[in-house]
Structure 1
Amino acid sequence: METEIPALLKARELIAAERFTFHSARMRMKHVTKDELATMDASSDRCALELSDAQVDVMGYACLVAIMAMGKGYHRASQERLTGVVQGNGSAGAVVNSAGALIDGLKAMGAKKVAVVTPYMKPLTEMVVDYIRAEGFEIVDYVALEIQDNLAVAAHDPMNLPGIVAGMDIAEADVIVLSACVQMPSLPAVSTVEAQTGKPVLTAAIATTWQMLNALNLPTRVPGGGALLSGAY
């Protein structure tokens, strides 16, 4: 989140007048396991409270799998609870999360059938796939890269992704989710995969940026942000 979302918003500054500042509060997590994710999610109230001290206009809960590991539909409960925390501290800042942003972005694009790439271990990937299915989408194919160490997820080369997608069955996919994780870099590969497949590409970081811009009532056009950030949605 701390790399690709600022990169997207900085790219937007090249075509629009608004300027952005970036603030973060961290939930601790070293290994992407269900237990660590649950502990991490329990820290989200603290992080929202800290960021609301800064009176930020919008905050994004970045970890998609931490939300999805807490049970189907949890992105709504998390957003509602954290909004209450923020408002209780006298802030009007909006709260979004990457899990809800991905779902809402797919719906905005009119997707029915989706292909998904995740860095997670297979059991967590299956949890993510089931969560997306429960929101009304068909998963035509998915890949779990099975990277458990969180820093190794961040170090994964995004230019491996075109080759990974080339090995997937995406013929019937309406949208390719190139990275269902804001931690796994994917932005440099988005235009390559769109050109390679002829299909729109979405990532958790792109979806979260789109959701943040919507929360700020700003136009959702960002150069290099794929179909969702073309300004059409």
Structure 2
Amino acid sequence: MTIDPTTAAACENSPAPQAPGSSRVGLIVPSSNTTMETELPELFRRQSEATGHRYTFHSARAAMKQVNREELLAMVGKAAECATAVSDADVDVIAYACLVAVMAQGPGAHKESEQVIGEAARDNGHPADVVSSAGALVRTLQTIGAHRVAIVTPYMAPLTQMVREYIEGEGIEVLDAVALEVPDNLAVGRLDPENLPDIARGLEREGAEAIVLSACVQMPSLAAVQRVEDELGLPVVTAATATTFEVLRALGHRPAISGAGRLLTGELS
């Protein structure tokens, strides 16, 4: 069989055509992240089950092992490079999935990060909508009218305080913030979500309009979201569910996901 070299070159240089009724989601994640690429596909599997639309995931990774300011800053510096790489797959939307790396850059930093990533994808010839987990969390809380919240993070206390201040800088009062103080990102991914209901019960919730059960894309929480929401009677949001919510909105798709809180059933928007 003779292979046309022109056709072979085109195959190497172009992603496969997208199948009808499907969307491609690009992810930019820390190199040590083990949770975002499990929780998001599971959420979108449930969306597919309800709607028939299919989603595929395509990742780029930026080095980060310890959750400290130095490594977070280095990761942010790789955002454009990762965006260029993942946009080679001609994705429809890119999710920048490291909440604390963005928030550590100062107030409103999600806006600049999303702009940098969008420009890199566009300059690479594959423009895509961009969602950051940091931006998704604060915008989602604003969308559902949650002006007072209680949050759980896996971070050390100083980083947790920084996350608290970032959220409050977006006009959302943080009534209580629990810091689990786990510095190693792989260890964060091994935290047991079965512990979260008890942690949530201990939050100061008087006056709260929502609970942020995991203000981190690496801390597993999906298994506990619905249980905590049912028990405490408040909307429960996580970095992962907020990112999913905004990815669906960017694609023009109405949420239809069960077992992950009212946000993703579409009841709150």
Q: Shorter chain as normaliser: what TM range? A: over 0.9
Kindly provide the amino acid, as one letter, of the partner of residue 142 in structure 1: A
Amino acid aligned to 1:215: A
User: Which position in structure 1 is the counterpart of 2:25?
Assistant: none
Contact 2:95/2:132 (CA < 8 Å) preserved in 1? yes
Aligned-residue offset at 1:92 = 2.3
Match status 1:175 vs 2:210: yes
- 1:81: how far off? 1.3
The aligned amino acid for 1:53 is D
Q: Deviations over 1:198-226 (max 9, x none)?
A: 11100000000010011111112211221
User: How far apart in 2 are the matches of 1:81 and 1:184?
Assistant: 26
Q: CA RMSD in A?
A: 0.8
Counterparts of 2:261 and 2:63, CA distance in 1: 30
- Residue 91 (str. 1) matches residue 117 (str. 2): no
Structure 2 residue corresponding to 1:166, chosen from 201, 205, 211: 201
The secondary structure found in structure 1 opposite 2:149 is strand
State the match for 1:45 in structure 2.
80
**1:67 corresponding residue in structure 2:** 102
Give me the TM-score of the superposition, normalised by structure 2: 0.85
> Number of residues paired by the alignment?
233
- Runs of at least 4 residues off by over 3 Å: none
C-alpha deviations, 1:52-99, integer Å up to 9, x for none?
A: 111011110000000000111000011111111111111121111000
Q: How far has the Cα of 1:230 moved from its partner?
A: 1.5
Q: Identity over the aligned pairs, expressed in percent? A: 51
Deviations 1:5-45 (A, max 9, x none): 11100111110021011110001111000111001111111
Letter in 2 for 1:104: R
1:217 matches 2:217 = no
AA matched with 2:148: K
Q: CA deviation at 1:171?
A: 2.1
Alpha-carbon distance in structure 2 between the residues aligned to 1:153 and 1:108:
28
Report the alpha carbon displacement of residue 231 of structure 1 after superposing the two structures with TM: 1.2
- Aligned equivalents of 1:84, 1:175: Cα separation in 2: 33
**Structure 2 counterpart of 1:107, from 142, 148, 151:** 142
Larger strand share, 1 or 2: 2
C-alpha displacement at 1:168, in angstroms?
1.4
* 1:227 aligned onto 2:258: no
Return the alpha-carbon distance in structure 1 between the equivalents of residues 224 and 260 of structure 2: 11
TM-score by length of 1: 0.98
Matched residue, 2:225: 190
Q: Give the whole-Å Cα distance in 2 for the aligned partners of 1:227 and 1:27.
A: 32
- CA distance, structure 2, for counterparts of residue 133 and residue 227 of structure 1: 23
List gaps (5 residues or longer) in structure 2: 1-35
Higher mean alpha-carbon deviation, 183-192 vs 88-97, is at 88-97
Higher RCO (CA-CA < 8 Å; seq separation 6+): 1
Structure 2 counterpart of 1:6: 41
State the alpha-carbon separation in 2 of the partners of residues 3 and 209 from structure 1: 12
Q: Deviations over 1:166-211 (max 9, x none)?
A: 1111121100000000110000001111122111100000000010
